[in-house]
A and B are shown apart, each in its own frame.
Chain A
Amino acid sequence: MRTAYIIPTGDEIREGIVRDTDSPELMRQMLAFDPTMEVTRLSPVVDREDTILRTIRQVVERRPTLVVLVGGSGGGHRFSSTLGKDYTHSALEQYLTQCSWHEIYGKNGHMWCKLLCGEKDGTILINVPGPFVEAQAAIRAFLEAWGRGLELDQISRAMAQAVFEQYPAGAAERPD
């Protein structure tokens, strides 16, 4: 039986300022994908890199099939003092010694989103962005690619493409 953990991140989620609508949507899609999957949603984690990293370590020790981190995927505080602290992708990158990642930048040079996909000790770890439509698209793409047995690179690419498609129509350029 597959087991999965959903880890929402963000002070605003933890404090109830913003309702966590992503986790129920992720769980809905995961259960539609595999009705036997045992899915656990953890209490939201604060926007601190060390706390997120510690939580990832603790969860992977339980040897789940899948870990999904939610939110904190953009540049956040690195680009704007009024935005939240986005540490999920950097914590995940620290934890995963090898992973595929895709960074989506705006034409203003800001990193809008970084998605990672990796495996450690038999557990697949991914992150999805906080905005609902992006989280929804990313998990849908993940489950479809994972279900087809694709490699991590292909899964990561499919997720990034799905998130990219949530932005208004515009040409994508992939630098050489």
Chain B
Amino acid sequence: MEQEYIIAHADKTVLRISGLKVHGLDTRQLEELLEKKLHTFVRVIGVTGEHVEMDVYNLPPEQIAQDEQGVIHTVALAEGITATDLAKITCNKKIVDVAYDQIPDRPISDCPRERWMKIR
């Protein structure tokens, strides 16, 4: 049976907004609102009752930070999200590349990033 690895060479920033009340969220609607605001691809990757975590592609963290209130306002436009007074960006980091050609094959219980971190 075929078992294959694919590497996606895409730049992204991990963005988390906390201090929200979330219930009944349509994640695609939130993605579309932010894509319109930021003019790039956005993917919701994690949601709890208090925060939303997203991947924002091809946009540096600095550019997102410049308009923190605008981003929070846009997020709050999505059905199922209410921004509290405590709403803020709690994570805004560009992903760090790993050198795949330098990653040891083992231990297989570790993910590639964990194995890469051990040799640094």
A→B interface (CB under 8 Å): 12, 15-19, 21, 74-76, 78-80, 82-84, 98-112, 118, 131-133, 152-153, 156-157, 160, 164, 167-168, 170-175
Which listed residue (A75, A78, A152, A167) contacts B10, Cβ 8 A? Answer: A167
Q: How large is the interface on B (under 10, 10 to 19, 20 to 34, 35 or more residues)?
A: 35 or more
Which residues in B have their C-beta under 8 angstroms from that of A133? 28, 31, 43
Contact of A109 with B112 in the complex, beta carbons under 8 Å: yes
Which residues in B have their C-beta under 8 angstroms from that of A21? 26-28
Contact of B4 with A173 in the complex, beta carbons under 8 Å: no
Those 3 A-B pairs whose CB atoms lie nearest each other, nearest first = A109-B113, A108-B95, A109-B98
A131 to chain B, nearest CB (A): 5
Can you report 30 residue pairs joining A to B where beta carbons are below 8 Å apart?
A15-B49, A17-B24, A17-B25, A17-B49, A18-B27, A18-B47, A21-B27, A21-B28, A82-B46, A83-B45, A83-B53, A100-B3, A103-B4, A104-B7, A105-B6, A106-B8, A107-B10, A107-B98, A109-B113, A112-B8, A118-B1, A131-B31, A132-B28, A156-B2, A157-B2, A164-B8, A167-B8, A167-B10, A167-B41, A174-B6
B→A interface (CB under 8 Å): 1-12, 14, 16, 22-28, 31, 40-41, 43-49, 51, 53, 57-58, 80, 91, 95-98, 100, 103, 111-114, 116
Additional A-B contacts beyond A107-B100, A153-B2 (10; CB < 8 A): A16-B23, A17-B23, A82-B16, A83-B45, A83-B53, A103-B4, A133-B28, A167-B10, A168-B58, A170-B10
Bound-complex Cα distance A157 to B22 (A) = 36
Identity of the chain A residue whose Cβ is nearest the Cβ of B112 in the assembled complex: A109
